[in-house]
Amino acid sequence: MGGAVTVVGSLNHDIAVSLERLPTAGETVAGGPVRRGVGGKGANQAVALARLGRRTRMVGAVGADAEGAALRAALAAEGVDVADVATVEGPSGTAIVLVHGGESTIVVSAGANERLDAARVRAAAGPIAQAAAVLVQCEVPDSALVAAAELASGLYVVNPAPARRLPQAVLSRADVLVPNLGELSVLTGAAVPDDPDDIVDLARALRPAAATVVTCGGDGAVVVEPTGVVRIPAVPTTLVDATAAGDSFVAAVTDALLDGASLADAARWASRVAAVTVSRPGASASLPRRAEIPA
């Protein structure tokens, strides 16, 4: 498939445990078996794109530890180019994932991801500038996002997760912004919207002349463009583990746009990809290959 993608973002060593119920403060509860694997929003999106058949390059940082070496090796085994994944002193990023009722509660220790600064991103200027699309998220410093925005010449897709206010240089450069409801709330400073019209109003207030796709979990997604609004229903599925659902959605939107799809059709494709993702356990382990997406 044509159209290479460069992902600028995080790589985490995931430690996941399924629970019958989440503990309260000061309480210990029994969990299921520990699952370890590749995570981090950047790495998840890179693996998702590679499994959909895209030539994908990762720009990030891991620690000089066994987890860092394993993360690089795992992405390379998926076909992701890791030439721009730096190895730095200190620990790799780590995520503790608690899965309860199919939903995931995640605590992230940034580790090496905090070291992905503007200088490290600019060191990958060629792959970023030459990419048909560049994806960024918010598990790395703002300086990395700004540098990627300045270097990107193709499609620039921003997934503002975990939620925080973003520099205007990132918001204004983004061709497509893909927040969930909570992230839209943080970006706008408003309450979490629970009415479809409020979602549209907030998206337009934030980016009146640009495209935003707001993901709404089991309620699907809302595509807001200057020319109109399209509501995308969720694809029926069996919820097993929602970890990486958003990452697979963002990757699939980008994949479809590079094939020339409209943003609404890209969101429909992404909903199908995410429906498969949430039906399986794990983060990157749950991400489907193109042949696994039902027609």
Which residue numbers belong to the known binding site for substrate?
A: 12-14, 40-44, 139, 247
Binding residues for ATP: 180, 215-220, 246-247
Q: How far apart are CA 208 and CA 225, in angstroms?
A: 8
Give the number of residues written for the chain. 295
Give the Å distances, CA to CA, from 235 to 86, 102, 176, 197, 277: 38, 16, 22, 22, 11
Residue type, 132: A
List Cβ neighbours of 66 (8 Å cut-off, separation of 6 or more). Answer: none
Measured distance CA(233)–CA(3) in Å, rounded: 28
Helices (H), the chain: 41-51, 66-77, 118-122, 125-130, 142-151, 168-173, 181-188, 196-206, 245-258, 263-277
**Which two three-digit tokens encode residue 75?**
């992405």
Interhelix angle 245-258/263-277, rounded to 10 degrees, is 140
Between strands 211-215 and 221-225, the pairing is antiparallel
Of 81, 84, 247, 255, which one is the catalytic site residue?
247
Rounded to whole angstroms, how far apart are CA atoms 93 and 87? 12
Binding residues for K(+): 241, 243, 277, 280, 282, 286
220-236: string of b/e by CB count within 10 Å (b at 16+)?
bbbbbbeeeebbbebbe
201 carries an active-site annotation? no
Which residue numbers belong to the known binding site? 12-14, 40-44, 139, 180, 215-220, 241, 243, 246-247, 277, 280, 282, 286
* Catalytic residue IDs: 247
